[in-house]
Amino acid sequence: MQRRHRAWAEIDLAAFRSNLAAARKAAGTAEIWPVLKANAYGHGAKELAIVCAEEGVQRIGVGDSSEALELREAGIDVPLLVLGAAIEAELPALVRYGVEVGVHSEGKARQFGQYALAQGARLGVHLKVDTGMTRLGVMPEAALRVAKAIAAEPGLELRGLMTHFPAVDGCHDPQTELQHLQTLQIAEEIRQLGIPVPAVHSANSAALFSGLSPLGDAVRPGIALFGILPPALAAQTSLQPVLSLHTQLIFHKDIPPGRAVGYGGVWTAHRGTRLATLPIGYADGIPYRLGTSGRGAVLVRGRRCPVVGAVSMDYCTIDVGHVDGAMVGDTATFIGRDGQETIGAQEIADAVGTIPYEITCSIGSRVRRVFRDAPKKAASTDPTPQPGAVTSPD
């Protein structure tokens, strides 16, 4: 069967909708604000933002200003919130497109307010409190002072109070609940000053699906919407993987025992076997160490095939000597199911000593995204789309 792409990631939008529904159920009365940062964790932010809009989300979170502007320019009119730090050069576009921003210091509050006022605009901001991440945000003891500074700026409107949890397992870490309660208390103290706080939002994916309570006014699920959570939490949910990653066999050769493979010759055949070359490498998001760890595998014809030799920039090699009939053109699956076998992003992450977030976020621009059960508004950029699919060059 002829394959249309050298390498492609299939994005199951039905699974994404299902995960969004699961998050909404877990959130109860709290609003769902999906976080689509880093190109929706490598899944395709523009297309998934369309789905989010169709599903009626009240707000979408992004990591930085460029991501927000990309969604605006793609026609996404859902309220957008930059969760990270905005810099001065980004203010004109943020104000022009009506993008909300996080405030992490009193100085930034005054800078943002003065600029917005000079433009005759009002910028929506969310005050971030550092309750333990020690990255961005004002210290809790400074929160009231900064809230007053925001309220004093005619060009600003306080639309929310937020924090960020460092615990990877949500409420299984008791510190998470303490941080959340501290945030709720700060919100109440700000309100007692007569300053409205329309929304308090703290819960990320792990906190939401580990039972944080009370949740506040909104929750910010990110990676869970793509079916990925820490193993202990994933086992307790019905979340579905959204992404599968594939390529094809483009060349094969038989090698004798003792033949070294790849840069540095880090793998040597201990028996005669057949190798296949795949047109995907670390420039496309396949970890370099997947071939050197001895734990990397790819699925071909429903069989696990070890990745052998160091992964190079554009290619990698696998051992298919045990796969009957393997031939050029066969599909090779890095993430996903083939027959009775499945490889998940967590397995790849475990093999190379990282986290699954990094695996999906690293999938490069040369990998074609193919969207299944595509949103109605998404337009195809592929001249010969398959039924039920939209492809994007992202």
Q: CA 320, CA 326: separation in Å to the nearest integer?
A: 7
CA dihedral sign, ordered 125, 34, 387, 280: positive
Q: CA 102, CA 100: separation in Å to the nearest integer?
A: 7
DSSP for 88-123, please give it: GGGHHHHHHHT-EEEE-SHHHHHHHHHHHHHTT--E
Domains and CATH numbers, the chain: 13-226 (3.20.20.10), 243-392 (2.40.37.10)
pLDDT (0 to 100) of residue 230 = 87
Q: Which of 37, 46, 108, 128 is catalytic?
A: 37
* Nearest residue to 43 (alpha-carbon basis) of 336, 243, 280, 241: 243
Is 202 in contact with 163 (CB distance < 8 Å)?
A: yes
Q: CA 366, CA 358: separation in Å to the nearest integer?
A: 17
263 is catalytic: yes
Kindly give the residue spans of alpha helices, DSSP state H, lying in 28-90: 37-42, 45-54, 65-73
Is 179 in contact with 206 (CB distance < 8 Å)?
A: no
CA dihedral sign, ordered 359, 361, 365, 369: positive
Q: Which of 41, 46, 128, 263 is catalytic?
A: 263
Q: CA 319, CA 116: separation in Å to the nearest integer?
A: 60
Q: Which residues of the chain have pLDDT under 50?
A: 375, 378-394
Is 194 in contact with 178 (CB distance < 8 Å)?
A: no
pLDDT (0 to 100) of residue 4 = 75
Is 15 in contact with 242 (CB distance < 8 Å)?
A: yes
Q: CA 142, CA 295: separation in Å to the nearest integer?
A: 49
Q: CA 244, CA 334: separation in Å to the nearest integer?
A: 8
Burial 220-244 (b: 16+ CB within 10 A, else e): bbbbbbbbbbbeebbeebebebbbb
357 is catalytic: no
